[in-house]
């Protein structure tokens, strides 16, 4: 099968700029974990399609706004997370749950500041929705809902997120590659034997099952559950509610990634496109608590955590090296497209969805040189 995305789309600035409005402003972006905004007045910030966004809890209800004060256009939140009223640090304008200014210092000194005028100064509001312990935002009023975008995977992702236990690692990576190269790398296991011979390959996950629905899809790589090493690993987690016979990876277009090994170790990855050739990724690693009455001791659990963290970081390091090698390659290939096998069907789906968001006219030569 021929790939749908030409090499130029992985490095041209003009195409990257168009992706902001055509893809990232129209899709659902993973913003944070619900635990970060569970309390009243808790808030987090995020970057989506070049915009600074704030998500805040107002008495149990999540709201999402453009993180820019309507008075003199300062960013309202200057850090990543906190807990206090939605107040601009410049002149103290405070906003309510509808984004309307509710507190304006020296208000009588403003001419014509009628109730109608104040309502017109409301912050630009965006869609926000939970899927279990995950919080997503969307800048478009016309895009599919999160449920529609995930299709039949919504309940599965909701369930998996609820099984995530202790957060054992957060690792952040800047990669010298286009965001699509990184996403595509996660969507196939064809490369595992060659890129991960001393890490991922040891799981011996067989070519497994693909599932597709709406803008989401998954891969299940089955492993030998009779293997003594696997048996020892899962022994302390027999009553876990979501049993997976191997490695399950899920994705939501354009850039949400989630996986689990055996329903015990969970990974969530947030990808932020920085430029046509640079990407930032944050990887969150969770581990389920052991079952009540399990023979797994605290020391053994700590060892499991250390092993999971080391394994995850090794895989990410290996992926980083190959993704950056691909980036150097696409710079030399003009409008060429690659070939895809039946083991890369999720990339086929990614390309088809990408093309539906970015019509062919938008992928034509922009005149911008690499």
Convert the pLDDT of each residue in 268-302 to its tens digit. Answer: 999 999 999 999 999 999 988 776 666 677 777 78
pLDDT digits (tens, 9 = 90+) for 305-333: 888 898 889 999 999 999 999 999 999 99
Q: Are residues 35 and 170 in the same domain?
A: no
Do 231 and 245 meet the contact criterion of CB atoms below 8 Å apart? no
Average pLDDT over residues 218-222: 88
Q: Are residues 168 and 190 in the same domain?
A: yes
The residue among 91, 116, 142 that closes a domain is 142
* β-pairing verdict for 166-175 and 206-213: unpaired
CATH code assigned at 219: 3.90.380.10
Q: Are residues 86 and 119 in the same domain?
A: yes
Structure tokens at 6: 């030409």
Domain presence at residue 368: no
Domain presence at residue 60: yes
Question: How many domains is the chain built from?
Answer: 2
Compute the CA torsion angle 341, 347, 353, 359 (nearest 10 deg). Answer: -70
Q: Are residues 137 and 159 in the same domain?
A: no
The residue among 115, 142, 169 that closes a domain is 142
Q: Are residues 126 and 203 in the same domain?
A: no
Q: Are residues 136 and 210 in the same domain?
A: no
Q: What is the pLDDT of residue 230?
A: 60
Can you list the pairs that 201-209 forms with residues at least 24 positions away whose Cβ atoms lie under 8 Å?
A: 203/246, 203/247, 203/261, 205/246, 205/247, 206/246, 207/343, 208/246
The residue among 113, 142, 171 that closes a domain is 142
* β-pairing verdict for 51-58 and 42-48: antiparallel
Q: What is the pLDDT of residue 61?
A: 98
Neighbours of 187 (CB within 10 A): 20
Q: Are residues 106 and 232 in the same domain?
A: no
Structural domain range at position 280: 151-360
Q: Are residues 95 and 170 in the same domain?
A: no
CATH code assigned at 66: 2.102.10.10
Q: Are residues 234 and 205 in the same domain?
A: yes
What is the DSSP code string of 41-100? Answer: TEEEEEEETTEEEEEEEETTEEEEEESB-TTT--BS--SSEEES-EE-TTT--EE-TTS-
Neighbours of 302 (CB within 10 A): 11
Q: Are residues 132 and 169 in the same domain?
A: no
pLDDT digits (tens, 9 = 90+) for 138-187: 999 999 999 999 999 999 999 999 999 889 999 999 999 999 999 999 99
Q: Are residues 86 and 37 in the same domain?
A: yes
Q: Are residues 208 and 91 in the same domain?
A: no
């Amino acid at each position: 099968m021929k790939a749908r995305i030409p090499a130029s789309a992985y490095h041209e600035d003009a195409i990257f700029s168009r992706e902001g409005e055509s893809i990232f402003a129209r899709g659902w972006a993973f913003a944070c974990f619900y635990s970060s905004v569970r309390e009243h007045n808790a808030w987090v910030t995020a970057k989506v399609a070049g915009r600074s966004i704030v998500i805040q809890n107002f008495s149990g209800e999540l709201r999402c706004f453009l993180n820019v004060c309507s008075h003199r256009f300062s960013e309202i939140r200057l850090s990543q997370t906190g807990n206090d009223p939605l107040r601009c640090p410049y002149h103290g304008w405070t906003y309510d749950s509808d984004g309307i200014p509710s507190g304006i210092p020296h208000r009588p000194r403003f001419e014509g500041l009628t109730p109608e005028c104040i309502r017109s100064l409301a912050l630009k509001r965006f869609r926000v929705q939970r899927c279990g312990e995950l919080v997503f935002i969307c800048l478009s009023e016309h895009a599919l809902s999160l449920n529609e975008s995930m299709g039949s995977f919504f309940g599965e992702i909701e369930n998996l997120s609820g099984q995530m236990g202790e957060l054992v690692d957060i690792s952040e990576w800047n990669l010298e590659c286009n965001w699509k190269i990184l996403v595509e790398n996660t969507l196939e296991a064809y490369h595992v034997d060659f890129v991960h011979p001393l890490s991922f390959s040891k799981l011996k996950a067989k070519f497994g099952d693909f599932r597709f629905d709406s803008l989401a899809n998954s891969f299940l790589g089955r492993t030998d559950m009779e293997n003594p090493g696997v048996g020892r690993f899962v022994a302390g987690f027999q009553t876990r509610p979501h049993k997976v016979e191997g490695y399950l990876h899920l994705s939501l277009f354009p850039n949400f990634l989630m996986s689990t090994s055996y329903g015990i170790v969970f990974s969530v990855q947030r990808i932020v496109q920085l430029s046509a050739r640079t990407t930032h990724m944050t990887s969150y690693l969770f581990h389920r608590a052991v079952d009540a009455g399990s023979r797994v001791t605290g020391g053994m659990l700590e060892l499991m955590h250390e092993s999971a963290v080391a394994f995850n970081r090794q895989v990410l390091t290996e992926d980083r090296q190959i993704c950056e090698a691909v980036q150097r390659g696409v710079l030399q290939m003009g409008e060429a497209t690659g070939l895809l096998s039946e083991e890369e069907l999720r990339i086929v789906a990614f390309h088809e969805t990408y093309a539906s968001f970015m019509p062919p006219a938008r992928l034509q030569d922009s005149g911008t040189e690499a």
